[in-house]
Structure 1
Amino acid sequence: MSPTGPPPPATDPSAGTPPGPPAGPGRHTFRSVAPVLALCWLAVFFDGMDVNIYGAVMPHMLDDPGLGLTPGGAGTIGSWTTFGMLIGALGTGTLTDWLGRRPVLVTSVLLFSAGSAVCALSGAPGPFGAGRFLAGLGLGGLMPLCLSLVMEFAPPRQAALATGLLMTSYHAGGMFATGLGLTLAPALGWRWVFWAGVLPAVVAAPLLLRLLPESPGVLLAKGRPAEADAVADRYGMARPVPADAPAQGAKGRLAAILALFRPGARWATPLLWLASFCGLLLVYGVSTWLPQMMRAAGYGLTSSVSFLLIINAGGIVGMLIAGRTADRYGPVRVSALWFLLTAAGALLLGAHLPLGLTYVVVAVTGVWLFSAQVMVYAAAHRVYPAAERATGIGWVTGIGRTGAVAGPWLGGTLAATGNDQLGFTAFASAGLLGSLAIGLVPLARRIGGQTAAPASPSSAPLGAE
């Protein structure tokens, strides 16, 4: 560790932002970490745009005879995307402690941008599906990385709020994708929407490479304590200690995975996985199939695509509400309630209501739907200590991606058999199961023996979950 006095400025470019006056210990505020939140916000914005592009243009793709895409094939391709995301999340959650947050994050951005280019060039479902799988690899890696970085740099007692603010970008990106689907696709064709998906490689990747700081815990683990202390001081954080540093090497990666089942987490971990499965089934099932389900329910094409825009607008509001509420009452309580409200909203969407009322129900459902899943990540932040957090969140995200695989597949299967309306009942069931799973996490920690160190010295007690 560095001596008592202020550390020298970091000069190694891998340490992150250029040298500047340190924020200093005790000044750990949202203002001091705003640059990190802003950069991760931009990355997740493009993540949300890419994920929602497919659902936004699917009606146009199904109407394109030259592509030859069927509803069943569309659901399968949606599952290829999320299967790639599963692999990306599991691999990234482990590799990032070894290689560093920033290089892996930039690689993720380049991967899903390349996948979008492949989709834009494809003339058949097979190559298009390969492009979506490639995009999925990058998308799956990006989310747990940004979550881990924001949670690490945010003031501990405001981690849920920081997570909620970060995830507003996902829905802003989803709204942007929907706007592209409503404007570019009818005028120029669906391929131009996917060409827009190459923008992250041009816009976000250079900014992340130049400005995003590396994790102080990772720098310490790599034997660079002076740089770790410099980054921590610059952003007003507590200087990292060896307990915060992820273990290095292959044995360290295996130990980090096995630690997810230590006393205090051995039962909470599978419950977090199940809650994440349900949440991501809802998120990706609805994002992919809401326009088509609403179209099958009797709404026009323009209205059906507009519902995707409205539900993402509700998602932005929901993130702000959920983040503040979870910091006060605990992410577990908020997530469980939000899952229940999502189930109620899904059942209401199954009824053919007047158009104006339907818009209201879609918007309100969006308030609960997306933030229910995000609060699962905030709960994981409190379950796993700092050295295991990136791996823990990576696996919660990665295992949850099986739900993201199941959601589009389920919607496609129901659409192919003419049972689109059953999708609303299926999504409501997922909401009920997710509420039960996340609600049991505090009990599981007590049964398993809560012997692990708290997530951070100043974080809220686990009883506040």
Structure 2
Amino acid sequence: MSESPMASSQTPQTSVQSRSFRSVAAVIALCWLAVFFDGMDVNIYGATMPHLLADDGLGFSPGIAGTVGSWTTFGMLIGALLAGTLTDWLGRKPLVTASVVLFSLGSAVCALAPSAGVFGAGRFVSGLGLGGLMPIGLAIVAEFAPPRRAALATGLLMTSYHAGGMAATGIGLAVAPEHGWRWVFWAGVIPAVIAVPLVLKWLPESPGVLYAKGRTDAAYAVADRFGLDRPGTTEAPQAGAKGRMSAIGALFAPGTRWATPLLWIASFAGLLLVYGVSTWLPELMRASGYSLTSSVTFLMVINAGGIVGMLVAGRTADRFGPVKVSAIWFVLTACGAFLLRTHLPLGVAYAVVFLTGVWLFSAQTMVYAATARVYAPAERATGLGWVTGIGRIGAVVGPSLGGAVVAGGNAGLGFTTFAVAAVLGATAITLVPLARRGRPARSATPAPAQTAA
């Protein structure tokens, strides 16, 4: 029989000092695998773009391709908002599983699509799963990671996104020229076969969610197993519809009411960059005068830079704070995008694209790391869901904007647009600490007397 919440005040809590990367390695590895497939599915579209445009039977044009990319990111917006709000009700594991199944199903629809309309519907379904997975994975890592290594753990998780992007590019280069783009999308069904069984068997549920559902013994067992503090009322989200609305309202409580929209703006700018570049970099480089093979390879290079950037930014942010790192990285991204406006020698172009990848993707990831610090534990999943969800508006705008630029044949304007978005992101994230001044300090782990109260 489960203990009552009042009983938690009488139960000694596990010290977070016992938590290390080794003790939570299995959790982070499972999230890493799921997000790897997320990154693979997102980047498959950009990796196959030249072949989609060349398929007369499908009926793609640059404008239609940009619209389909926006359908994907619109699905992500809905998925992120729903997942961030529902995860405290339904649990982390069921929503991770549902997200992986959804984007695998969407990839299968794309592989079978007879027209651009059906293809777009498949990408929308994929977007629901892709958008739902990211905030849940970030919330899981923020909860289970060692407290002083939270930014590094977030960066480590996001290396998987770029490893997935590199895998998608490699599959696109190896498979699409000889076997066609459809086989590349069939590879997007693999996550349902590999990741779902592993998640169902090994991914633990959030102790806070278990505690909120009244499963106190199970919550304590998970916390003890992974070296987490045993949850109390501060960590546990409120149950029911009232609790979900309360979590949303907390995003605009004193101390966060101005930080929340600033985080949304930073996420908007960051995701406009991430998805605009992931979708259109090969075509923009082709418009700048590079060959087809080189243009697709640039997508692999920028994702390789993203992996390096996640590790560098994570370690740096744990020392200096994710806000500072995110702001500086956004500014450096603007510089890299501005340099790409001109046709550079191939070797120099590869170096600039790699460095831009180092800064671009981790600038956005450090927005997530900053978000995890802004909100209290019971608000964190909802806060991350809304930051990623509202940010998806930028992900909707990015591909459409890129399509319009490519259709106009002006690659320089596309890179200038990305540079302006990076400056906007730097400005917004820089203002977050000012908006947080005066917020009452709240302990992530309540004292026994507080829990009893």
What TM-score comes out, normalization by structure 2 length? 0.95
Specify which of 265, 272, 283 is matched with residue 263 of structure 2. Answer: 272
Does structure 2 conserve the Cα–Cα contact (< 8 Å) formed by 1:115 and 1:133? Answer: yes
State the one-letter code of the partner of 1:70. S
Which position in structure 2 is the counterpart of 1:411? 402
- Which of 453, 457, 460 is 2:442 aligned to? 453
Provide the C-alpha distance between the structure 2 equivalents of 1:394 and 1:455, rounded to a whole number of angstroms: 19
Residue 246 of structure 1 is matched in structure 2 by 237
Q: Any conservation in 2 of the 1:114–1:134 contact (CA below 8 Å)?
A: yes
Cα offset for 1:456?
A: 5.9
Cα deviation for residue 66 of structure 1 reads 1.2
Residue number among 105, 129, 140 corresponding to 1:138 in the alignment = 129
**SS at the partner of 2:290?**
coil
Aligned mates of 1:224, 1:61 — CA distance in 2: 50
SS at match of 1:451: coil
TM-fit CA distance, 1:414 = 1.1
Corresponding residue for residue 450 of structure 2: none
Q: 1:25 to 1:413 in 2, by over 3 A?
A: closer
Tell me the CA shift for residue 111 of structure 1.
Answer: 0.3
> 2:341, 2:411 within 8 Å by CA — same for their partners in 1?
no
Partner of 1:19: none
1:431 and 1:119 map into 2 onto residues whose CA distance is: 32
Structure 1 contact 71–412 (Cα < 8 Å) conserved:
yes
Supply the distance in 2 between the matched residues of 1:454 and 1:383 (Cα, whole angstroms).
Answer: 12
Check the 8 A contact 2:16/2:146 in 1, yes or no: no
Give 1:239's aligned amino acid.
R
Tell me what 1:18 maps to: none
1:455 deviates by 5.1
Alignment RMSD (CA, Å): 1.5
1:29-68 mapped onto 2 (5 Å cutoff): 29-68=20-59
Choose the corresponding residue for 2:200, options 203, 209, 212.
Answer: 209
Identity of counterpart residues, as a percentage? 71
**Aligned counterpart, 1:11:** none
Deviation at 1:25, TM superposition (A): 5.7
In 1, Cα distance between equivalents of 2:64 and 2:266:
28
- Following the alignment from structure 1 to structure 2, what is the Cα–Cα distance between the partners of residues 187 and 419? 30
Distance in 2 (CA, whole Å) between partners of 1:258 and 1:120 is: 41
Aligned residue identity for 1:109: V
Q: CA deviation at 1:292?
A: 0.3
Task: Say whether 1:380 aligns with 2:371.
Answer: yes
Q: Do 1:25 and 1:233's aligned partners in 2 also have CA atoms closer than 8 Å?
A: no
| 2:133 counterpart letter in structure 1 | L
Secondary structure at the counterpart of residue 45 of structure 1: helix
2:413 is matched with 422
Aligned AA (1:126): G
Q: Displacement of 1:242 after TM fit?
A: 1.0
Distance 1:176 1:28, change over 3 A: same
Work out which of the residue numbers 331, 339, 358 in structure 2 matches 1:367.
Answer: 358
Instruction: Give runs of aligned pairs for residues 89-168 of structure 1, distance below 5 A.
Output: 89-168=80-159
Residue 410 of structure 1: CA displacement? 0.2
Partner in structure 2 of residue 431 of structure 1? 422
Going from structure 1 to structure 2, the CA distance change for 1:127 and 1:292 (only over 3 Å counts) comes to same
Q: Which residue of structure 2 lines up, in the alignment, with residue 329 of structure 1?
A: 320
Structure 1: gaps (5+ residues): 8-22, 458-465
Maintained 8 Å contact 1:260/1:266: yes
Q: What TM-score, normalized by structure 1, do the two folds share?
A: 0.93
Q: Could you say if the C-alpha distance between residues 456 and 325 of structure 1 is closer, same or farther in structure 2, counting changes exceeding 3 Å?
A: farther
